[in-house]
Structure formats: C-alpha cells, structure tokens
Chain A
Amino acid sequence: MPKERKREKGEVHEKFWERTVREAFKNDPLRIAIELIKNAADSYTRLEKRGSAKPPFEIIVKLYCRKRKQPSITVLDNAEGMDSKKLKEALKYGTQTSMGEDTEAVTSAEKGIGLKDAMMALKNNWLITVKDDLLNERNKHLNFDTGIGKEDEPISKQERKNLGIKSNGTVVMGVFPDFLRERRFSTICEHLQQHFLMRKLLENPKYKIFVIDGYTNDKMHLKYNPPKTEEQILDELFEIDYNRRKHNIHLSIYKSVEELPQGKPYGKSGLLFYYGDYTVVDFTFCRLERNLSFSKCFGEVKMEVEALIRDPTEAPLVDEKRRGLDSEHPFNKILFDEINQRLKELEEKEEASRYSLDNATKKEVLRELNKIYKEIKGTGLFEPPIMPMTFAFYPVYVSIKEFEPKTISLVINSTIVNDEFEISLQTTNPDIVIKMPKKISIQEKPREKFLVKHIELYSEKAGAKGEIIASRWPYTLESEKMGVEVLVNPIFSPENDFAFVPDTTSIVDGGKKNVELCIEKNLIKQYRRIDLSSSYPVICPGEWLLPETKEKLQKYVVKNIVRVELPIQVKETGHIGDKAIIEAKYKDKISNLKVTVVSEPSIAGLFRDIRPSAKTTERICSFIQDEGILEIYYKHPLIKKYMVKNFRRCQSFLVFIADTITREVLRAFVETGVKENSSKFPIFDMNRPESEIEDHVVREYYEKGPKFHELFIYLAKTFKIGKED
C-alpha cells in the first residue's frame, strides 16, 4: 500500500459525492469492480486501435475474501498507463478525457460516473499507474480530496515485480463498501460471470479476464455461457432517424429451450443493449419486462450510436444513476418504440404458439373444407377455356383407362339455350359407356355466357375406340363429336402375375397412404398369406391375409385381378429424400415397391390454415381471405371463460364454438364463390349483393351445417390451451 505524501482539495462538496457514489452502487456494488475491469479493457482497446498492442489482452482481478471482513480488490492491466497529467485529469471533477472503447469519443455514453466514482466507492483506494518508466500513485477520499503518493518517480524492477506491470499499466485497489453483501470468492466470481454488464466483454475472445483468490492463489477464467438456443426468432437491421442522422440498430432475439430468469443484473431473459464491441448500457425488454410471453427469449441490440456519443452537446443515453438507458432521452424513446413494435408482433406469435391445434386433425379438416367448397361451388372450370358459338366438347379427344371412369366437359353457349333445351349424348361404341348424364337438359335460361356440363365416361374394354356425339336432334341438326380411346390399365397386367402397380411411389414425410398390390386371380389357391417387409424409414404390416372364402375374395376382384390395398407409413418425420423398399412375397412370387419420402405439399384451396390468434377482437373467429387463413381468437371473453381444463367434455360449449366457426366458414364459401362468379351463388342485384349473400349463407347452413358441426367439434377437441399437458 503506498503512502500519501500530500493532499489536493476536492472541487465539489463531499456530500454531493457521497450521495452520488452511494446512489450509483448501492443496489449493485459489483459494478465497482466491473467499472474498473471495463476501464482496463477500454485502455487495451485504445492501444489496439493505435496499433500498439495485439490481443489477447489480460486483465487480472485479485480478490481478498474473508468471512467477517469486507472483500478487497485489485484490478491490474498492462495497457496504456497514465502520466501524472493524465492521471490528474482523470480524477478531476467534470473531466472530459478520452474514455471508453471509442478513441474518437470525447466522453463515454455514460457520463457522470466512472473511474473516480468506482475508486471513491472503495475504501482505502489507490490508483497506481506506470507510463514510460514513471510511477504515479493517487487516491480519492470521500470528500473528493485527492491524495498523492509517488509522482513521476522512476519505477524500480522490484516495484514492477510487486505490481505485476511489465511495461505500462495500471493497478487500482481498495476495499469494497459495506453494501456489498457477497463475501465468498466463488460467489463474487459467479456474479461477475452472470452480470449483464460483463457479458459482451466475456464473450469477446480478445479479452481474458482472470480472477485470483488473493489468499489461495486459485485462478479462474471468467466466461459467460449464453442460454441454450432453440431458434432465432428475429434478426433485423433497422435505422433510427435522430437529429438528421441515421443510426443502425441490429436487433437479434433468440428463444431458449427453457424458461429463463428475468431482471437485472443476473437475469438472462432480456435484451442486452450495447455499442462498440462490448460496452453494455442496459438489459431490458423495453416496458415488457414481466411479460410471460418472453420468458424464454433473450437477445441483443447493437446500437451504432458512436456519432451520438461523440457529440458533446448531446445528453448521455444512460440515466444519471446508471440504471440503464434513460427512457426520457428522445433517441431512446424512438428506439424503445421501434423495439416494442417488434416485440408486440413477436408476443402475438409467441402467445399463439402456446395455443395449438393437432396438426394432423387440422390438415384433415382443411382438406375436407376445401373439398366441400369445391363441391358447393362446382368442380368444373371457372371459365371455360373455349367459347363455342353453339356447344363443343372439351377436350375434343380423350384417352381413358379400362375400368377407370373419366370426366370430360361439354361447353354450351347460353345464347342457344331456350325453353326445354336438351342435348342428347350418344356413343358410337357400346363398349364405351356414358355413365352420366345420358342427356343434358336446361330448364331455365342461365345467367352465365357459357355453361360447363360434366360427362362421365367408362369402359371395360381396352383398345376400344369410338366417339361421343352430342346433338340437339330432332330440334336441329347441330351435333358435336369427340374421340375416345380406351387404354390398357396397367393393373390388369401385373409383372409375373404378382406386382405392385405402379412399382414406384412417393409418400409424404411422416404420412400414411395405401398402395396397390395386384395379383392374378388364378394364382390364388389355398395359401392366403402375403409376407411383407420394408426398409427404414417406411413401415408396413408384416403380413396380409387374403379372405378365406371365394365369396369374400370376390369383393377384391376386378376382371382377372385381385386388388389388395396395403397401408404403408413413414416412421416419424425428417426423412425427406430418403428411399425405401417394400417387399411383398406370395408363395414363390416376389414384388418390390420403391418408395421415396417427399415433403408435404402445401394445402391448396380456399382454406390453407387454421390458427389460434392472440388478436383482441369482438369476434371468435374470422377468415382472412387474402391469406386463406381461418383465425380463432382465444382472447375472446367466452373462449377465455369456457375453454378451460376439461372443456372437451362440455358438449354445449363445443357446439357453440363449432356453430360459430361453421357460420364464418360458410360466409367465406359464399363470398369467395360470388367473387369467383360461381353459378352456384347467383346474385340478382350485383350492386347490393349483401342480403342475397346472407340468403345463400342460410341455405348452405341448413344443407351443410350439421356436417360442419361434426368437423369443427372434432377439431375443437384437439385445441391445446397454453401449458396444458
């Protein structure tokens, strides 16, 4: 410990400093140590920026801890050091020396508290610094007096050895104030590692901060371990326009795998605001601190505010008591608003992610909905690709497979439709059958310019050729014809009389499907067992038993073939692109099916997704037509009230929810149908269609309502609420 040789009077009243120092550190006394560590790091950074030093940079923190005594600390660096002039300046009130990691800054963003305050908070403090072989020692008293020890004295080898300064450097020492509660070396180390102000510095590989137990010489390298990340949920670069200058802000938010502790100084859930490489100024969620939606979130905000800091006329960004960013500073106000806006969006998503519907059920319901919509609106072409003067087939020639029906279209110009309009359909080859309709009759004059009528063709005779003739005979001689050819259906000629048809197929990742195994009828005698095996990741039953009696087997017989549908499925997900083989064996016959796992195609149609939403609206659900998404608002008071544990047993509530969704879905059907000019929803007065749309919705509700109720009750039962199970 140096000896005080003289004293210089302080520039301000001692009470002022007592209060300032206490205010600054009383709630978080470890910041005294952090301030000194950061000063050392800044000094190294300045050296590096001048090209005088290369990383790694070591900072040694020595702690002397005793159970019943206040711990004392020594922070040592081998950085710039200070001469007497700079030292005097650094410890003077209202100094504006170049501080911080930014060499061009006149002062740091944290004006008001710094080295002086940290020193004054330490009892019996001393700052010993060596620059150009000259030693300087000074201390600070609580009344702001400065004590002076050696001043510009040449340093001896022994002194260097005692201090641990090889060339230039600084040592700051002192005893922690009584408001530091921590007494144990390990606890202080742990807290230093967890402290938000240290995180960026500890993450920076350029700096190595070692803490040494002064009594045992135990050495610990401080490191910060960030929470285990599940995913990055936001990575955005935006600008803040402040005082005609643009400041880049890089916001990154991550989601951890587990819930994180919140709050300063050791919490992990929050946003770390920093500038430069490691200068942390705050750790907050900008007014959303206690929001449970962010309990798993953490991140950082890199602020390019150097220009703002360099401006001596600008108020500091950090509040006077150094609690964090000054919320009254106009720059911070804009910054918080921008971040809040993004956090709100994330909150909605995050909250919604805690409410979910069973994915498989949801997809099933979506497919069913889209199917029903197609049925209601009509499956034909919205707009005929051809516009005949009278009527015409589309396409004009078709190839069909034996035993497989196929639908073709007849496009009719409505100008030729009069009362009791009729077109008869005939086939020139009796082997080619018009399954339905045999004739086309139109009772009322249609509103559309062109009508599309569907005709189903069928044939059991491969190789047959013929024509379908549409005529208005005996009324007129007009007729139209289309050519038809019947192709061999590959299922009737399985290779080796026992084969998968086709022998290659694809399956959705994690999905199920049936594949067809075709067996020549005469091959089946007494033996009923088909052995099945599959390779990973596709699974199938180990065997398949054919019906025992001929009568039962007859159900599977088409022409000369027994068609067996075998279920296969992909074990779990994550196998896109994988290939597998299914082997079927019957007596001495073997057939292989090559299966490729593919990604699931997106759901096409009017409805593409159903999702729980955190929006606060007066409605229970709403269909977002542009996106094709049916949103269910779980913040609705009725949902909040009734959708609690065991709601699945509450039939009346399920019916109520299903009915509400049914009405919304049917309205979406009708409104979209009208928009797409579907002939199923004729509108008399196009200028005021609302009441007519309502009539259509009511009609559809009576027709389709019960089916939809069933569908949505089934879906509602899979709704998961928050942390349930």
Chain B
Amino acid sequence: MIQTGPKKDEDLIREITEYEGAYVPLDKDRLVLFAVNYLEERAIEPTFDKIVVATFRLFPKKFSLIGFPEYPDGRTIYYCAYNHCTLGKKLLVGNVQSAFKVTERGKYFLDETKKMLEGKIQLVRHYQVSPRRKETTFLALLKKTIAYKKYVKGEKGKVHKSEILQALRIPPNSKSLVPTRLAKYTEYALRINETSVLEFLKFAQSELEADANA
C-alpha cells in the first residue's frame, strides 16, 4: 500500500461532511471517540490537529465556537480527547505529541456510541450543545434565578423588581448599570440563540422602565 502523505490525509479530512444521524443529544466525549475511530478506519493517523478538524467536520453543531460556527472549538476537543477520553475514561491512549488510539475498553464504548448514533440506543439525558464559555455560564446562572423561574412559570406578576436586578447581577443601588447589563445579556442570548432568555430580558426591560417612569 502506498504511504498516504500528510496532504492526502488533509484532503480526505476536508472531504468529510456533517454526520447525518442525530448526534446533538450525545455527549462530546463519545463524539470525539467516534471521530478518532473514523480516522483510524480510514488509515489516517489520529494526530491532534486531524482529530480537531475531523470532529468539527463530522459534528459541527457540537464543536464550533460561540458566534463563529465556521471555526472548530479546539479547546473543547482537546479536553474531550486528552483529559476525558484518555486520562479519565481510558477510552483512548496517547497525547498531543504522540497522536491517539482507541483502546480495547474504548471499543465497547465506541460500539455503544455507534448504536446511539444509529438510534438503537437513546440517551435519557441530552447534553449541552454550546461550549462552557462566558455566554453559556452566565445565561445558565440567569436561568437559575428566582425572577427567571417565576417568569417561565407564567408568574410575571409576582416578579419583583429586586429579583430582576438580582437576575441581571445589578447591585440594589446601581440602577445606572441596567442598560449595559441588559444589552450584554441580550448579546449573549442572541449569540447562543436562547430565545426564552431573550423574551425574559424584554420583560425585564419593560418592568424596569415602568418602574423608572413611576
């Protein structure tokens, strides 16, 4: 067999198209494991950069950067491949300098992952799509606030002004922060397409404006 040069591998990887099955509910570790095996099956050495691009091309919805869907999230892929799959779960062996390989143990999880991707096994829990960055972190915190919970329950009338300020992380005597905080949260919500949060922010704005006019 003729040795496939780096260029050949790159071309092959560039040709990868998005996986057609329902991959969004799966956890990212499994998807990286799948991508490493995908490369191995095609006789492409799973070096880190190849894993990053292959994973991104196969599963773009799970491994793109917030606000930049055309770029891969190398940091997340690194954590999945090395910290989780290699050091933690021992599904892979290797490191960034040595490239990666699926272990005996990993093969069982790989089979299970394939079944999940084929729909033979479904997961009870659906895993997060967006990477854990500032946007997701603070919107997740906002979703845990009393004001947001009351709003989602349909108890708009019961939401106090102080609870809205608390949700937006505005200290009680710093009303001047309201416009900038609202703008920031709206920007984050738009970026990761959190429609329910956007609606809440509109509600919060109207409530705070009504209060200021009163």
**Residue positions of A touching B, CB distance < 8 A:** 383-390, 392, 396-397, 465, 481-483, 485
Contacts and interface: CB of A to CB of B under 8 A. Distances in A.
B67 to A, nearest CB: 32
Contacts of A383: 124
Contact of A384 (B112, B115, B120, B124): B124
Nearest to B109: A396
Nearest to B89: A397
B109 A385 contact: no
A397 B108 contact: yes
Contacts of A387: 121-124
Question: What size tier do the contact residues of chain B reach?
Answer: 10 to 19
25 contacts: A385-B123, A385-B124, A386-B123, A386-B124, A387-B121, A387-B122, A387-B123, A387-B124, A388-B115, A388-B122, A389-B119, A389-B120, A389-B121, A390-B120, A392-B112, A392-B121, A396-B108, A396-B109, A396-B112, A397-B108, A397-B109, A465-B104, A481-B108, A483-B105, A483-B108
A486 to B, nearest CB: 13
Given A483-B104, A483-B105, A396 B124 contact: no
4 nearest CB pairs, A to B: A397-B108, A387-B122, A396-B108, A483-B108
Contacts of B122: 386-388
Give the one of B104, B107, B112 with max A CB within 10 A.
B112
Contacts of B109: 396-397
A557 to B, nearest CB: 33
Contacts of A485: 105
Interface of B: 104-105, 107-109, 111-112, 115, 119-125
Contacts of A385: 123-125
Contacts of B111: 396
A482 B124 contact: no
Nearest to A411: B121
B108 A482 contact: yes
A457 to B, nearest CB: 15
Contacts of B120: 388-390
Contacts of B125: 385
Nearest to B107: A483
Given A396-B108, A397-B105, 20 more contacts: A384-B124, A385-B123, A386-B121, A386-B122, A386-B123, A386-B124, A387-B121, A387-B124, A388-B115, A388-B121, A388-B122, A389-B119, A389-B120, A389-B121, A392-B112, A392-B115, A396-B109, A482-B108, A483-B104, A485-B105
A59 to B, nearest CB: 43
A385 B121 CA distance: 10
Give the one of B104, B107, B121 with max A CB within 10 A.
B121
Contacts of A482: 108
A385 B119 CA distance: 15
Contacts of A481: 108
A465 B107 CA distance: 14
A658 to B, nearest CB: 40
Contacts of A384: 124
A387 B119 CA distance: 10
A390 to B, nearest CB: 8
A483 B109 CA distance: 10
A592 B194 CA distance: 56
A397 B107 CA distance: 9
Nearest to A399: B105
Contacts of A386: 121-124
A386 B121 CA distance: 7
A500 B122 CA distance: 44
A390 B120 CA distance: 8
B83 to A, nearest CB: 19
B102 to A, nearest CB: 12
B98 to A, nearest CB: 23
A482 B115 CA distance: 14
Contacts of B121: 386-389, 392
Nearest to A481: B108
Nearest to B111: A396
A392 B105 CA distance: 16
Nearest to B91: A397
Nearest to B122: A387
A412 B19 CA distance: 28
B119 to A, nearest CB: 8
Contacts of A396: 108-109, 111-112
A57 B110 CA distance: 85
A396 to B, nearest CB: 4
A485 B108 CA distance: 12
A482 B111 CA distance: 10
A485 B111 CA distance: 17
A432 to B, nearest CB: 15
A386 B109 CA distance: 13
Contacts of B115: 388, 392
Contacts of A390: 120
Contacts of B104: 465, 483
Contacts of B105: 397, 483, 485
Nearest to A390: B120
A437 to B, nearest CB: 22
A469 to B, nearest CB: 12
Nearest to A385: B124
B115 to A, nearest CB: 7
A584 B130 CA distance: 54
Nearest to B106: A397
Contacts of B112: 392, 396
A387 B116 CA distance: 9
A385 B112 CA distance: 13
